[in-house]
Amino acid sequence: MFDADGVLFDSTESNTVYYNAIFAQMGERRMNPDEGKAGVFMAAPQVFELRARGDAAKFDRMREIARTMDATPFFNLMRPPVELRPFLSTLKLRYRLALATNRSATIPALIGHLGLDGIFDAVASARDKVRPKPAPDIVELCLARAGVEAPRAVYVGDSETDRIAAEAAGVHFIGLGDRVDHEHWIEQLIELPERLELIFGPAR
């Protein structure tokens, strides 16, 4: 199972521009660096809660703007670290692949934009009306849809939020990048096949 942002692509710029477009419509200031970092791994409602600081009317207005805004132009600012379809197609020869992310309404269009239609055996996200990570709900729903037991699954994530969700769901975890530390850690996505073999053993 893969997280999306920070794993399959660098979305820092994309997310920052997206949220700043929403805030601009409300006369709000632009995101500060800490909010920009949080925007990579938080679900949109979590980002809005962070900015609204308990102001229910402001929170509702942010969600309303987000529901009517076309997010697809922001996809062009995403930066995959590898050519995703050939990389994932090779993994798919041995493993079932799934996507478990705090993203919501943008997921179907995003999969199409990345050229990943037909790649994932299961997809679960915040659009499924379950609790976002760090709760384990999205990971557990993805497991159920993939028909895989937790001990035979691994979640690849780039944040402590991902690690907490994976451990709560009882799956293995592989941390990616400099925002997370774990026994099973990789610096780049291209290192994933080798790390998977350390967990599950070489192909027979």
pTM here is 0.88
Tokens of 95: 């493993």
The CA distance from 83 to 68, in Å, is 31
Q: What would the pLDDT profile of 169-185 be if each residue is shown by its tens digit?
A: 999 999 999 999 999 99
pLDDT of residue 106: 87
In this structure, how many other beta carbons lie within 10 angstroms of the beta carbon of residue 7?
Answer: 25
Query: Using CB atoms within 10 A of its CB, is residue 128 exposed (0-12), middle (13-18) or buried (19+)?
Result: middle
Q: What would the pLDDT profile of 17-28 be if each residue is shown by its tens digit?
A: 999 999 999 999
- Cis peptide, bond prior to residue 134, ω within 30 of zero: yes
What is the rounded average pLDDT for all residues in the chain?
94
The CA distance from 50 to 59, in Å, is 9
Q: What is the full DSSP assignment across 109-127?
A: HHHHHTT-TTT-SEEEEGG
Cβ pair 50, 35 in contact under 8 A: yes
- The residue type at 9: F
What percent of the chain is modeled with pLDDT above 70?
Answer: 100
The CA distance from 109 to 159, in Å, is 24
The CA distance from 178 to 180, in Å, is 6
pLDDT of residue 43: 84
Sign of CA dihedral 28, 59, 39, 13: negative
pLDDT of residue 204: 66
Q: What would the pLDDT profile of 130-140 be if each residue is shown by its tens digit?
A: 999 999 999 99
Task: Count the alpha carbons within 13 Å of 101 in the hemisphere toward its beta carbon.
Answer: 24
Output Rg (C-alpha) for the chain, integer angstroms.
17
57: which strand partners? none
**CB proximity list for 12: less than 8 A, separation 6 or greater:** 36, 37, 39, 40
